[in-house]
């Protein structure tokens, strides 16, 4: 049984006070809901959001971590710093990190292993650009991102890993992959996990879809066999949009 997992990636939005206010509102409205709900604020907003989320069912995650424990890495944040705030969840390998900040699959893998060594739960993002899709490279790109991203991860550690399929061309563009296309990519990702860890682990792995998820399209996406949740950007910044998305993930 894969429990629906709805996550909001706030990206570089929300000051500490705005973030705390949003989480208080979300907490009221998603109380008692049996989907897993997560928000990922910017680093400086995390403490206020952790405080606001106390005693609620909302998980607070970071959007990134450094692959080292500490040292001369100006501008970076370690797992230990997040743990001190009570944070044990992180998004790794978002396409904006891969493309704008040139994070390689190998670096992403180092971050995954570092986060696992501190018992973090991880959302590992994968997804192709439009150019790659049009060149027929979808499966090649996903295979590389999944196989390299998970290198050295054991079968038992996979319970800490959620995979988010985010086609780059659908992020912030208003273009969503059709449910059929998304489901096909998710099924392929699940087959990659099965190749690495066997069928049972693959069946249990949560695979989120991300890319212009909105209240109006979440239902048909979530109805797909291999889509177990959503990683939401823009629509996670307003309670009136994020709450209906979360509600759609509620188990009947």
Taking CB under 6 A as the criterion, the residue among 41, 149, 167, 210 binding ligand 13P is: 210
Decide: 170 and 212 in contact? Cβ < 8 Å.
yes
Taking CB under 6 A as the criterion, the residue among 45, 162, 212, 241 binding ligand 13P is: 212
Residue 5, phi then psi, degrees to nearest 5: -130, 110
State the minimum distance, in angstroms, from the CB of residue 235 to ligand 13P.
Answer: 6
Give dist(CA 12, CA 163) in Å, integer. 22
Assigned token pair, 137: 């490279």
- Is residue 249 part of the contact set for ligand 13P (CB under 6 A)? no
**Which whole-number Å values give the CA distances from 42 to 12, 61, 63, 65, in the listed order?**
6, 9, 7, 11
Residues numbered 8-27 forming contacts with ligand 13P, rule: CB under 6 A: 9
- Choices 24-32, 43-51, 197-205, 208-216; region in contact with ligand 13P by CB under 6 A: 208-216
- Is residue 234 part of the contact set for ligand 13P (CB under 6 A)? yes
Decide: 19 and 49 in contact? Cβ < 8 Å.
yes
Positions marked active-site: 94, 166
Which residue lies nearest ligand 13P, judged by its C-beta? Answer: 233
Give 238-241's long-range contacts (Cβ < 8 A, gap of 24+).
238/22, 239/22, 239/25, 239/26, 239/29, 241/214, 241/215
Decide: 16 and 45 in contact? Cβ < 8 Å.
yes
Contact string (CB under 6 A) for ligand 13P, positions 90-119, x = contact:
----x-------------------------
Give dist(CA 92, CA 122) in Å, integer. 7
User: In this complex, which beta carbon is closest to ligand 13P, that of residue 65 or of residue 231?
Assistant: 231
User: In this complex, which beta carbon is closest to ligand 13P, that of residue 99 or of residue 155?
Assistant: 99
- Is residue 229 part of the contact set for ligand 13P (CB under 6 A)? no
Give dist(CA 239, CA 110) in Å, integer. 34
- Is residue 41 part of the contact set for ligand 13P (CB under 6 A)? no
User: In this complex, which beta carbon is closest to ligand 13P, that of residue 88 or of residue 229?
Assistant: 229
Q: 172-195 b/e with 16+ CB inside 10 Å = b?
A: eeeebbebeebbbbbebbbbbbee
- Is residue 167 part of the contact set for ligand 13P (CB under 6 A)? no
State the minimum distance, in angstroms, from the CB of residue 213 to ligand 13P.
Answer: 5
- Choices 65-73, 78-86, 101-109, 231-239; region in contact with ligand 13P by CB under 6 A: 231-239
């Amino acid at each position: 049984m894969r429990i629906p997992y709805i996550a909001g990636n706030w990206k570089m939005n929300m000051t500490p006070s705005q973030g705390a206010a949003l989480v208080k509102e979300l907490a009221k409205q998603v109380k008692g809901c049996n989907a897993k709900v997560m928000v990922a604020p910017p680093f400086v907003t995390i403490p206020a959001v952790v405080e606001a989320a106390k005693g609620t069912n909302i998980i607070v995650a970071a959007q990134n971590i450094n692959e080292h424990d500490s040292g001369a890495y100006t501008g970076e944040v370690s797992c230990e710093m997040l743990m001190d705030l009570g944070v044990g969840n992180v998004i790794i390998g978002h396409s904006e990190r891969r493309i704008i900040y040139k994070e390689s699959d190998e670096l992403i893998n180092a971050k995954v292993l570092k986060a696992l060594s501190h018992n973090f739960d991880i959302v590992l993002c994968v997804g192709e650009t439009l150019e790659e899709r049009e060149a027929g490279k979808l499966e090649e790109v996903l295979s590389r991102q999944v196989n390299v991203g998970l290198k050295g991860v054991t079968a038992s550690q996979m319970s800490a890993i959620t995979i988010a399929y985010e086609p780059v061309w659908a992020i912030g563009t208003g273009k969503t992959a059709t449910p059929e296309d998304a489901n096909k990519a998710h099924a392929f990702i699940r087959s990659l996990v099965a190749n690495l860890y066997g069928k049972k682990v693959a069946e249990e792995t949560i695979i989120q879809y991300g890319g212009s998820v909105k209240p109006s399209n979440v239902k048909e996406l979530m109805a797909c066999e291999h889509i177990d949740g959503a990683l939401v950007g823009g629509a996670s910044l307003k309670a009136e949009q994020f709450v209906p998305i979360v509600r759609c993930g509620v188990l009947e």
